[in-house]
């Protein structure tokens, strides 16, 4: 006892005790204790649709609260302007053409659950690394990265083969075909051509038959039989897929099991929210990764009755406000379980809003604020600049706004390092760890150049000149808006990446986004003294970047994209695929 008393009286011990008392709280140390990670991704949400990014008519109080309690990124960039390639880049931390997930043709996303293309099994997602680090990993909602490769149940592209322990949601994406009351959306123009071709072939066969019966056309019955058979075969060949889009694509799965075929859209929102909160509650005693991939705000804008006719922006605004409510419910569940200080929450959209998506006079797509362009446009800011918000109380400074260039690909190394893992060394990772920037320990993003692709075609390049603060952006290719001056490709429905619908620029169009974020006034050698220097610098960066690219199998080739009946997920005996296991339970 006297020895202990002597120790506490020692002049060396007193400062030590005060030092221990002054240690930062546990949340500051949670950087090295595997925080929970909740990733919230909206679908087709424009940066201008969110209150904290300038919208004062659509109410998003829960998303705004995340920004108030955390860090808001104002130059957060998607690696592609469409769902499939953007999400592939998000999951792998790599430009999508490195994994073959960007298009060489006009089929720029996965079109069928029964296609053979998808995120290759040899790609390592952040979920796979976190799974190896002991995390419980779950994906709730949209996948859109493929299902099978060679057989109906090989599940080579499935979430469970890419590091997720649990999956509930759509293996495909929400489309208007999923809602029987809506006008079909999928491949609409191509379907019209198929119908027209079928009618023409049928008319030729009918005319020949009438001519044979009346004696006006000397044609043999054998020829007529072959013509009729060809007409029937042509019709069946395309109608067997396009005639049943709702059954083939609009399905819900739990892990490998199909639970709804077709999905019952009236309850989809409540089921996704229930599954998300249940996952948090089941895994609250160990580190977990939850990727909640919303079906909002993609058409047909599934919105429950509680939120209909509440916003000032019609059905689209109603849908965004419902998604914001869902964000609030998930964040409240985290806080209720006492996980607030040990959970990193991230909110983003996969790309910009869809300007051309309209029915009659209804605008069904999003708004991209002051930024030119939208969904499907690989170069213009409106297609790739998205909301990006992080909340982690006690670790990230609240109310912070960061204007540095960042990418959705940065989530990969960020969460991998937080989990105590290491990024793969056998491949190029294009993302950068954001924690130093988010915590304020560095002033600038690690990205010097970002490359903006439309399919496999390089449309633009961004150069962050850190010493001057300039953000130079050179456009090599831009889409031709239709009608002229409209700001989007309304006559087409989507802006193309190549062909007659684009303009090639030599020299490139050059903008300084730090002075002209709307890309309204292109610079020239006459108006910008550094024009030639900047163009040469970006050109050298493009050459260096292209040397890092290696050929890989094209996951979105025509063969991989087309519907293959032997790959169709089915909850019965194909082709009799229908079930409602959620309703049964």
Active site residues: 83, 144
Q: Are strands 166-170 and 252-254 parallel, antiparallel or unpaired?
A: antiparallel
CA 90 to chain centre: 8
Q: Are strands 257-261 and 579-580 parallel, antiparallel or unpaired?
A: antiparallel
CA dist., res. 129 & res. 423, Å (int)? 8
Burial-class residue 378 by CB neighbours within 10 Å (0-12, 13-18, 19+): buried
Burial-class residue 229 by CB neighbours within 10 Å (0-12, 13-18, 19+): exposed
Name the residue among 302, 164, 176, 167 with its Cα closest to residue 249: 176
Which are the contacts of 150, defined by CB distance < 8 A and separation ≥ 6?
116, 156, 567
SS3 329: helix
Which CA distances in Å does 462 have to 103, 197, 329, 353, 530?
Answer: 21, 45, 37, 21, 15
Q: Where are the alpha helices (DSSP H) in 306-426?
A: 314-336, 381-384, 411-418
SS3 181: coil
User: What residues are paired with 479 via a beta bridge?
Assistant: 502
Radius of gyration of the chain, Cα coordinates, nearest whole angstrom: 27
Name the residue among 160, 121, 128, 124 with its Cα closest to residue 143: 160
The DSSP letter of residue 295 is: -
CA dist., res. 325 & res. 60, Å (int)? 8
User: What residues are paired with 136 via a beta bridge?
Assistant: 288
Name the residue among 395, 430, 370 with its Cα closest to residue 91: 430
**How many other CB atoms are found less than 10 A from the CB of residue 141?**
24
The DSSP-derived string for 202-243 is: HHHHHHHHHHHHHTSS---HHHHHHHHHHHHHHHHHHHHHHT
109 φψ region: left (φ > 0), alpha (ψ -120 to 50), beta (else) = beta
* Burial 285-316, CB ≥16 within 10 A → b, else e: eebbbbbbbbbbbbbbbbbeeebeeebebebb
């Amino acid at each position: 006892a006297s020895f202990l008393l002597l120790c506490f009286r020692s002049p060396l011990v007193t400062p030590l005790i005060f030092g221990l008392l002054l240690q930062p709280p546990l949340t500051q140390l949670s950087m090295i204790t595997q925080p929970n990670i909740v990733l919230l991704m909206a679908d087709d949400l424009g940066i201008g649709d969110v209150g904290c990014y300038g919208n004062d008519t659509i109410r998003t109080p829960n998303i705004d609260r995340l920004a108030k309690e955390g860090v808001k990124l104002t130059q957060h960039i998607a690696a592609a302007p469409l769902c499939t390639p953007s999400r592939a880049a998000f999951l792998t931390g790599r430009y999508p053409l490195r994994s073959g997930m960007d298009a060489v043709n006009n089929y720029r996303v996965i079109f069928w659950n029964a296609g053979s293309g998808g995120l290759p099994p040899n790609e390592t997602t952040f979920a796979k690394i976190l799974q190896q680090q002991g995390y419980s990993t779950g994906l709730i909602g949209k996948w859109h990265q493929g299902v099978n490769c060679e057989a109906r149940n090989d599940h080579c592209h499935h979430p469970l083969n890419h590091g997720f322990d649990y999956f509930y949601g759509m293996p495909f994406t929400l489309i208007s075909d999923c809602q029987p009351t809506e006008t079909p959306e999928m491949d609409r123009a191509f379907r019209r051509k198929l119908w027209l071709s079928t009618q023409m072939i049928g008319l030729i066969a009918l005319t020949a038959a009438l001519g044979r019966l009346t004696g006006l056309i000397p044609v043999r019955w054998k020829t007529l039989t072959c013509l009729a058979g060809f007409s029937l075969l042509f019709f069946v060949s395309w109608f067997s897929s396009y005639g049943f889009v709702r059954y083939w694509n609009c399905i819900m799965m739990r892990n490998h099991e199909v639970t709804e075929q077709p999905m019952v859209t009236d309850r989809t929102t409540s089921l996704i929210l229930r599954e998300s909160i249940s996952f948090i509650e089941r895994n609250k005693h160990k580190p977990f990764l939850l990727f909640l991939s919303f079906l909002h705000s993609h058409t047909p804008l599934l919105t429950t009755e509680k939120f209909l006719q509440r916003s000032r922006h019609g059905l689209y605004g109603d849908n965004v406000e419902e998604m914001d409510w869902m964000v609030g419910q998930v964040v409240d569940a985290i806080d209720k379980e006492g996980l607030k200080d040990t959970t990193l929450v991230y909110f983003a959209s996969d790309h910009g809003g869809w300007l051309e998506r309209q029915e009659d006079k209804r605008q069904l797509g999003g708004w991209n604020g002051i930024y030119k362009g939208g969904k499907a446009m690989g170069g213009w800011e409106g297609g790739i600049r998205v909301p990006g918000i992080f909340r982690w109380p006690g670790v990230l400074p609240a109310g912070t706004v960061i204007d540095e260039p960042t990418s959705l690909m940065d989530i990969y190394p960020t969460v991998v390092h937080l989990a105590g893992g290491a990024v793969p060394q056998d491949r190029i990772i294009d993302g950068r760890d954001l924690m130093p920037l988010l915590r304020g320990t560095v002033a600038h993003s690690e990205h010097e150049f970002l490359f903006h692709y439309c399919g496999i075609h390089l449309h633009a390049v961004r150069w962050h000149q850190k010493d001057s603060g300039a953000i130079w952006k050179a456009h090599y290719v831009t889409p031709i808006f239709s009608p002229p001056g409209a700001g989007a490709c309304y006559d087409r429905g989507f802006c193309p990446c190549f062909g007659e619908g684009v303009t090639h620029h030599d020299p490139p169009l050059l903008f300084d986004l730090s002075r002209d974020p709307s890309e309204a006034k292109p610079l020239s050698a006459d108006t910008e003294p550094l024009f030639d220097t900047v163009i040469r610098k970006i050109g050298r960066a493009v050459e260096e970047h292209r040397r890092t690219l290696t050929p890989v199998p094209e996951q979105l080739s025509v063969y991989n994209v087309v519907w293959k009946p032997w790959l169709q997920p089915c909850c019965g005996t194909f082709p009799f695929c229908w079930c409602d296991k959620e309703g049964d339970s």
